[in-house]
């Protein structure tokens, strides 16, 4: 199977492949060190980092490894975040979810809305059986997104990450196809 990054539309958002014109918006998001306090790598200090990000986004799709999508607000047409499916494993039918939203839109349900669309695509179009997500155990907002989407907290990876010298634990969350298909509605 060959991956082509999709375009997904929700009530407030459009998720579509990352492109060159997204540079300023993505650089702003990934350079916000305070917002990325619980991210698993340091905030960007060099805007040129975007070129690597874009190249890697394309490479991921070409190699069937996953997708990265810009999250665009339907009203303003602004890029307000990005999300990803990483490490797609065709044999295990599993993939890992990630997301990063601009601080100005936090707390409005957009992170959940974007993640929900991407998870739905993973189950229905990518045909995975399991979506996994890890989050720093201090990242309450991320844990809450996963909880709202029906993920199960499966465990804790102790001292999993070291970012700027800070050692942190990670939660591991998992959501299975059958749980997605039979999830209670509305969520």
Ligand X SMILES: CC(C)(COP(=O)(O)OP(=O)(O)OC[C@H]1O[C@@H](n2cnc3c(N)ncnc32)[C@H](O)[C@@H]1OP(=O)(O)O)[C@@H](O)C(=O)NCCC(=O)NCCS
Selected binder of ligand X within 142, 151, 168, 175 (CB under 6 A): 142
For position 135 contacting ligand X by CB under 6 A, the verdict is: yes
3-class secondary structure, 84: strand
Per CB under 6 A, the list member of 9, 21, 89, 108 interacting with ligand X is 108
Query: Across-strand partners of 21?
Result: none
Residue pair 83/97 in contact (Cβ under 8 Å)? The answer is yes
Residues 6+ apart with CB under 8 A from 165: none
Q: What spatial distance separates the first Cα and last Cα of the chain, rounded to whole Å? A: 32
Shortest CB 125 distance to ligand X, Å: 22
The Cα 175–Cα 152 span in angstroms is 6
Closest to ligand X by CB, 57 vs 112, is: 112
Residues 28-67 that bind ligand X (CB under 6 A): 35-36, 38-39
- Minimum distance from residue 82 beta carbon to ligand X (Å): 9
Interface residues with ligand X (CB under 6 A) are 35-36, 38-39, 99-101, 105-112, 135, 139-142, 144-145
């Amino acid at each position: 199977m060959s991956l082509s990054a999709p375009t997904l539309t929700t009530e407030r958002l459009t998720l579509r492949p990352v492109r060159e014109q997204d540079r300023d918006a993505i650089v702003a998001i990934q350079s916000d060190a305070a917002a990325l306090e619980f991210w698993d790598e340091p905030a960007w200090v060099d805007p040129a980092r975007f070129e690597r990000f874009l190249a890697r986004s394309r490479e991921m799709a070409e190699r069937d490894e996953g997708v990265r999508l810009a999250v665009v607000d339907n009203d303003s047409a602004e890029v307000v975040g990005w999300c990803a499916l990483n490490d797609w494993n065709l044999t295990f039918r599993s993939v890992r979810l990630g997301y990063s939203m601009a601080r100005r839109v936090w707390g409005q349900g957009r992170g959940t809305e974007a993640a929900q669309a991407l998870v739905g695509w993973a189950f229905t179009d990518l045909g995975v059986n399991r979506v996994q997500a890890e989050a720093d155990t201090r990242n309450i907002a991320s844990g809450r997104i996963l909880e709202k989407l029906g993920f199960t907290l499966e465990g804790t990876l102790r001292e999993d990450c070291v970012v700027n010298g800070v050692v942190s634990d990670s939660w591991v969350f998992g959501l299975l196809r059958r749980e997605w298909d039979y999830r209670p509605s509305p969520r």
